[in-house]
Amino acid sequence: MSDTDRPGASGHGSGHEQVPGRRRRRFPRISSRAYEHPADRSALVALRRLSGFDVVFKALSGLLPERSLRLLYLSDSVRVSERQFAHLHAMLRDACHILDLEKVPPMYVTQDPQPNAMCVGLDEPIIVVTTGLVELLDEEEMRAVVGHEVGHALSGHAVYRTVLLFLTDLAVRVSWIPLGNLAVMAIVTALREWFRKSELSADRAGLLVGQDVQASMRGLMKIAGGNHLHEMNVDAFLEQAEEYEAGGDLRDSVLKILNLLPRSHPFTAVRAAELRRWASSRDHQRIMDGHYPRRDEDQDTSVSGSFRDSAASYVNDVKESRDPLMKLVGDLAGGASDLGGRVRRGFTGFTGGAPEDTGGRPPGTEPDDEGTDDGA
């Protein structure tokens, strides 16, 4: 496998640090299946193999706001090129070279203080980054973000992201129609669940492009906490994710779900922890060693195999999770005893006190003289 020269960091603009040039691995003909999260991949494989799926999306193209988006960014944003944001242009070309994406997608910088980036479009993806993000990240952190968006493009995520944006807007417009909003929001919720998984896939693509796990970690941390890098610590940030994933009771588990449902992206600390785990995995090392699926093998991909991989991933997540709800699900699947007691203890916070141990008696009855005392 050949290498690619990283263009020297030019330090254009504030917030970009000068870094020495180094060589990066490139991955000729790499399939997006190499880095896609199992849940993301199974959904994409199923959609791509549906008969008439492409025809349906082409029919929808007249309804979706793709042309409007392109005209909007062309007229009210700055298009990245050799003459405008040249350092971003070099990163974009480099990312496409590393992931072997033949057609470099157009990229725009739009005025918005909120750090954000996205890849949208039906026929051809376009990448948009905000000024808030450009000003926040240094050269290597930004490289990971550009690789993240190129990963979206290679995976075909732009199509589904555009559909999600359209349906989210539609849900607002039809909210006054009885039951109409419920039907649209059901689809939006499902798409958001897929898109959250697709963000984990794109984070992996960003790491393959940047090939600097610390830069990826720093970028996610700064998106969460701002440009005060001297006040933050990557290890402490990852400890937050560990505390989030392990702490609390069943009530907290439910609140986590409710907090996550309206979001299109996973929580930033959780993303960082997930990426760190993948960076130290054998799957990542095999890709770096040149052993990865190629695009010419995609047509032979088994839908059932992808679903099995996805199911195995969820089972493993449940098995290894320290979240109380996930532990309960695992115990239920394993036939654990005293689940009722675990549920009562887990939801203590909802009632404000410890549940009474009735020793299996109907509530309100007293134990026999020969019975045992009530437990605490």
Confirm whether 149 is a catalytic residue: yes
Helix 38-49 vs helix 303-320: angle between axes, to the nearest 10 degrees?
160
CB-based contacts of 65-71 (< 8 A; 24+ apart in sequence): 65/162, 65/165, 65/166, 65/169, 66/120, 66/121, 66/122, 66/123, 66/162, 69/120, 69/121, 69/126, 69/162, 70/121, 70/126
Answer yes or no: are the C-beta atoms of 217 and 284 closer than 8 Å.
Answer: no
Neighbouring-strand partners of residue 130: 110
Residue with tokens 């958001």: 192
User: Which phi-psi region, left, alpha or beta, contains residue 16 (left: φ > 0; alpha: ψ -120 to 50)?
Assistant: beta
Catalytic residue among 139, 140, 141, 149: 149
CA dist 191 and 258 (Å) reads 16
Instruction: Name the residues annotated as catalytic.
Output: 149
